């Protein structure tokens, strides 16, 4: 019930189905710092646009305060175990809370950038949390998913699009 409400926007429209102006365009330019470490732990690696080139990847915008992000997290862990490169953009979160979230649920991210101002999320056109983008090897956005990915969407949408992106040599269609 809560997940459905999370994906309903103004006028009762399902926002997970709204198109994105970013599809087939290069990922926005950004350079985000790492999540600050808690004492005795290593810092995560920050994230920048250049990290998104050279391989097909997912970019997931998430926060520890986001209940749907918690629901989706096992899907991201599964994809990471399957070898999918996943980058995280941690949105307007406290570093200690973000670290605790990852310590409790696992860390599927190869790199995580901290978007404390929310500017990077705006540049990506994010308006629901979590949001996940499929990025091809050339750094172009090929798909945008608003809201948590559920197991059915993983099999029917995400995995096929990851395969398609891997087969396409990169660049615009």
DSSP string for residues in 48-70: EGGGGSSS-EEEEEE-TT-HHHH
Query: What is the structure's pLDDT at 117?
Result: 96
Mean pLDDT throughout 117-146?
95
Nearest one of 6, 22, 38, 42 to 129, comparing CA atoms: 6
Mean pLDDT throughout 76-100?
96
pLDDT > 90? residue 25: yes
Q: How confident is the model at residue 169 (pLDDT cuts 50, 70, 90)?
A: low
- Would strands 57-62 and 85-91 be described as parallel, antiparallel, or unpaired? parallel
Across the chain, what does the average pLDDT equal?
A: 87
Mean pLDDT throughout 79-90?
98
Structure tokens at 25: 């365009």
Query: What is the structure's pLDDT at 8?
Result: 41
Higher per-residue confidence, 18 vs 140: 140
pLDDT > 80? residue 157: yes
pLDDT > 70? residue 112: yes
pLDDT > 50? residue 14: no
Higher per-residue confidence, 146 vs 39: 146
| pTM given for the model | 0.85
Query: What is the structure's pLDDT at 44?
Result: 67
Mean pLDDT throughout 75-96?
97
Q: In whole angstroms, what separates CA 1 from the centre of its chain? A: 23
């Amino acid at each position: 019930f809560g997940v459905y409400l999370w994906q309903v926007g103004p006028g009762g429209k399902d926002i997970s189905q709204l198109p994105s102006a970013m599809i087939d365009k290069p990922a926005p330019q950004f350079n985000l710092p790492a999540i600050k470490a808690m004492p005795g732990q290593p810092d995560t690696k920050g994230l920048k646009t250049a990290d998104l080139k050279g391989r097909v990847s997912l970019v997931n915008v998430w926060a520890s305060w986001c209940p749907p992000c918690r629901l989706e997290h096992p899907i991201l862990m599964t994809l990471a175990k399957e070898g999918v490169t996943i980058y995280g953009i941690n949105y307007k979160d406290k570093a200690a809370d973000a670290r605790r979230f990852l310590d409790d649920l696992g860390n599927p991210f190869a790199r995580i950038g901290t978007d404390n101002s929310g500017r990077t999320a705006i540049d990506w056109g994010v308006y629901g949390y979590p949001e996940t983008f499929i990025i091809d090897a050339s750094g172009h956005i090929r798909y945008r998913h608003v809201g948590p990915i559920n197991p059915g969407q993983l099999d029917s949408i995400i995995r096929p699009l990851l395969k398609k992106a891997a087969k396409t040599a990169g660049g615009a269609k």
